Structure 1
Amino acid sequence: MYYLTQFLIATFAAMGFAFYFNCPKKAIITSCLFAGIAWTIFKFTLIKTNNYFLAGLYSAFILGLLGEFAARKLKNPATVFIIPGLTPMVPGAGVYYSMYYLINENSKLAQESALETFFIASSLAVGLVASLSVIKVIKTFKYNS
């Protein structure tokens, strides 16, 4: 039940960003479902491994693959599916708390929060780059065969 609740919250949260970014109407539901899937993978991996980097890496990798396949199927740019899907995982609260602790001169907590935020953000970037690389390799083999 916990993961279903997380999935629904992330899906509806991404819907607001999909409308804000003016996603095409036929892609909104798909991009929101991808956000829910990616967030659920993030939470599941985080609970099982207690590692933010792995959680972000796996979820961004799956989101990138889903976004690329949906882009080809629905004939839209992949960013239409990836950007709203990333929004639940972006570590905005981590940046806020890092600055909050820094302003309140609690350097130890500021450093911990900033490091955790950096790991989440970098894992999302690495996961997306890895998925795009896999897609590029698949396309290369497909068209060169």
Structure 2
Amino acid sequence: MSLFLEAFWAFLATVSFSIMFSTPKKELLYCGIAGAFGWFIYALCTRIGLSSVFSNFWGTVFIAYFSRLFAIVRKNPISVFLTSGIITLVPGAGIYNTMLHIVMSDNKMASHYGVETVKIACAIAFGIIVILALPQFMFTFKIKEKSNNNS
């Protein structure tokens, strides 16, 4: 499947989760953009050979960056965009497989999936922290006005 088609489906998934989370209707497009762009970066990183942990980290960095930018521009809390946008990167399959193998008493596979899931969750958390630690001026844009002081 092409990267752009995957990003489109990620956009739809993000918007769907945004609706479930009762996101204001005027912000749905921006939530979808954040989620789609994050998935695009994740899929691109995976295709160039990065591990799923590093791919999730870079996808999260872009989602968090756009969420913070949209929060300032759209005058909403960052959680409006970040919670919905990050949903496509959450390792749900890893959590499911971990629990499945625990129930089946397959400790080797349970620990394999569990460790991978925890690494991905840490990468997501670290990606968010990296962007939230950046100074505010990196997200605000001021247009310099020309002053006519011809007196």
Shared fold, TM over 0.5: yes
Residues 52, 119 of structure 1: 8 Å contact kept = no
Displacement after TM superposition at 1:59 (Å): 1.1
Displacement after TM superposition at 1:136 (Å): 4.3
The Cα offsets for residues 53-101 of structure 1, whole Å up to 9 and x where unpaired, read as: 2111111111111111111111111111111100010011111100101
Residues 14, 88 of structure 1: 8 Å contact kept = yes
Matched, 1:68 2:68: yes
Comparing both structures, which one devotes a greater share of its residues to helix?
1
Q: Which runs of 4+ in 1 moved over 6 A?
A: none
Q: What is the TM-score with the length of structure 1 in the denominator?
A: 0.89
Greater Cα radius of gyration, structure 1 or 2: 2
Report the equivalent of 2:134: 134
Which structure ranks higher in relative contact order (CA pairs < 8 Å, sequence separation ≥ 6)? 1
Report the equivalent of 2:115: 115
Report the equivalent of 1:57: 57
Matches within 5 A, 1:61-100: 61-100=61-100
Distance in 2 separating the partners of 1:137 and 1:107: 49
Report the equivalent of 2:28: 28
Distance 1:137 1:106, change over 3 A: farther
Report the equivalent of 2:147: none
SS at match of 2:119: helix
Distance in 2 separating the partners of 1:19 and 1:138: 30
The Cα offsets for residues 22-57 of structure 1, whole Å up to 9 and x where unpaired, read as: 111111111111101101111111222331221111
SS at match of 1:87: helix
Identity of aligned residues (%): 24
AA aligned opposite 1:58 = W
AA aligned opposite 1:126 = F
Report the equivalent of 2:17: 17
Q: Which runs of 5+ in 2 are unaligned?
A: 143-151
Q: What is the TM-score with the length of structure 2 in the denominator?
A: 0.86
Residues 8, 36 of structure 1: 8 Å contact kept = yes
Distance in 1 separating the partners of 2:45 and 2:57: 10
Displacement after TM superposition at 1:19 (Å): 0.5
Residues 68, 135 of structure 1: 8 Å contact kept = no
Distance 1:74 1:7, change over 3 A: same
